[in-house]
Amino acid sequence: MLYLFSCSDLNHSLFIFLALFFVLFYEAINGFHDTANAVSTLIYTRAMPANFAVIMSGIFNFLGVLLGGLTVAYAIVHLLPNDLLLSGNPKHALAMVFSILLAAILWNLSTWYFCLPASSSHSLIGAIIGIVLINAITEGSSLVNALNISKILNVLISLILSPIIGLIISAILILLLRYISKKYKTIHRIHMTPLEREKNDGKKNPPFWIKIALILSSIGVSYSHGANDGQKGIGLIMLVLISIIPTSFLVNLNASKKEIIHTKNTIDYLKKYYLNHYSKINNKKLDYNNSNIIKNIKKTQILLDDVYNYNTLSIKQRFQLRHFLLSISENIDHLINFNTTKYEKNILYNIKKDILVTVEYAPVWIILIIALALSIGTMFGWKRIVTTIGEKIGKKRMTYAQAMSAQITAAFSIGIASYTGIPVSTTHILASSVAGSMLADGDHIQKSTIKNIIVAWILTLPVSILLSSFLYSIALFLI
pLDDT digits (tens, 9 = 90+) for 358-405: 999 999 999 999 999 988 887 776 565 555 555 555 556 778 888 888
Do 40 and 58 contact (CB within 8 A), yes or no? no
Is the model's pLDDT at 259 over the cut of 90?
A: yes
Residue 207 inside a domain? The answer is: yes
User: What is 310-330 written as a DSSP string?
Assistant: GGGS-HHHHHHHHHHHHHHHH
Residue 305 inside a domain? The answer is: yes
Please tell me the distance from the alpha carbon of residue 4 to that of residue 7, in angstroms, as a whole number. 7
AA letter at 62? F
Please tell me the distance from the alpha carbon of residue 330 to that of residue 336, in angstroms, as a whole number. 10
> Tens digits of per-residue pLDDT, 16-30?
888 888 889 888 887
Question: Beta-carbon neighbour count of residue 308 at 10 Å?
Answer: 13
Count Cβ neighbours within 10 Å for each residue of 9-32 and write b for 16 or more, e otherwise: eeebeebbeebbebbbbbbbbbbb
Q: What percent of the chain has pLDDT over 70?
A: 83
Do 206 and 197 contact (CB within 8 A), yes or no? yes
Regarding whether 184 and 160 lie in a shared domain, the answer is: yes
Higher per-residue pLDDT: 304 or 54? 304
Name, in order, each residue with C-beta under 8 angstroms of 370's C-beta and a sequence gap of 6 or more: 23, 24, 27, 65, 230, 233, 234, 237
State the pLDDT at residue 285. 45
Regarding whether 78 and 16 lie in a shared domain, the answer is: yes
C-alpha separations of 207 from 53, 54, 179, 392, 411 in Å: 18, 21, 20, 25, 22
> Tens digits of per-residue pLDDT, 62-81?
998 998 888 888 888 887 77
Q: 9: pLDDT confidence band, cut at 50, 70 and 90? A: low
Is the model's pLDDT at 1 over the cut of 80?
A: no
Class of residue 132 by CB neighbours under 10 A (exposed 0-12, middle 13-18, buried 19+): buried
| pTM flag (> 0.75) | yes
Residue 426 inside a domain? The answer is: yes
Domain end call among 355, 379, 414: 355
Residue 5 inside a domain? The answer is: no
Domain end call among 321, 338, 355: 355
Do 123 and 467 contact (CB within 8 A), yes or no? no
Regarding whether 41 and 73 lie in a shared domain, the answer is: yes
State the pLDDT at residue 145. 62
Residue 152 inside a domain? The answer is: yes
Regarding whether 125 and 51 lie in a shared domain, the answer is: yes
State the pLDDT at residue 396. 65
Please tell me the distance from the alpha carbon of residue 387 to that of residue 236, in angstroms, as a whole number. 30
State the pLDDT at residue 288. 46
What residues does 445 pair with on adjacent strands?
A: 394
State the pLDDT at residue 348. 84
Regarding whether 54 and 32 lie in a shared domain, the answer is: yes
Is the model's pLDDT at 290 over the cut of 50?
A: no
Q: 3-class DSSP state for residue 288?
A: coil
Regarding whether 373 and 278 lie in a shared domain, the answer is: no
Residue 98 inside a domain? The answer is: yes
Q: Phi/psi at 445 (nearest 5 deg)?
A: -105, 155
Regarding whether 326 and 415 lie in a shared domain, the answer is: no
Do 234 and 367 contact (CB within 8 A), yes or no? yes
Question: Beta-carbon neighbour count of residue 305 at 10 Å?
Answer: 8
Regarding whether 376 and 350 lie in a shared domain, the answer is: no
What residues does 279 pair with on adjacent strands?
A: none
Residue 3 inside a domain? The answer is: no
Q: Which region among 239-248, 285-294, 443-452 has the lowest average model confidence (pLDDT)? A: 285-294
- Total count of residues recorded for the chain: 479
Q: 142: pLDDT confidence band, cut at 50, 70 and 90? A: low
Do 410 and 452 contact (CB within 8 A), yes or no? no
Q: Which region among 53-67, 140-154, 227-241, 291-305 has the lowest average model confidence (pLDDT)? A: 140-154
Regarding whether 50 and 117 lie in a shared domain, the answer is: yes
User: What is the average pLDDT across 129-143?
Assistant: 80
Q: Calculate the dihedral angle through the C-alpha atoms of 297, 303, 306, 312, rounding to the nearest 10 degrees.
A: -140
Phi-psi region of 138 (alpha: psi -120 to 50; beta: other; left: phi over 0): alpha
Regarding whether 288 and 204 lie in a shared domain, the answer is: no
Q: 3-class DSSP state for residue 174?
A: helix
Do 393 and 441 contact (CB within 8 A), yes or no? no
Range of the domain at 335: 253-355
Q: 3-class DSSP state for residue 394?
A: strand
State the pLDDT at residue 286. 45
Regarding whether 302 and 195 lie in a shared domain, the answer is: no
Average pLDDT over all residues of the chain: 80
State the pLDDT at residue 289. 39
Domain end call among 321, 337, 355: 355
User: Considering only CA atoms, which of 29, 31, 159, 35 is closest in space to residue 106?
Assistant: 29
Residue 1 inside a domain? The answer is: no
- Tally of structural domains, the chain: 2
Regarding whether 380 and 273 lie in a shared domain, the answer is: no
Phi-psi region of 93 (alpha: psi -120 to 50; beta: other; left: phi over 0): alpha
AA letter at 197? R
AA letter at 9? D
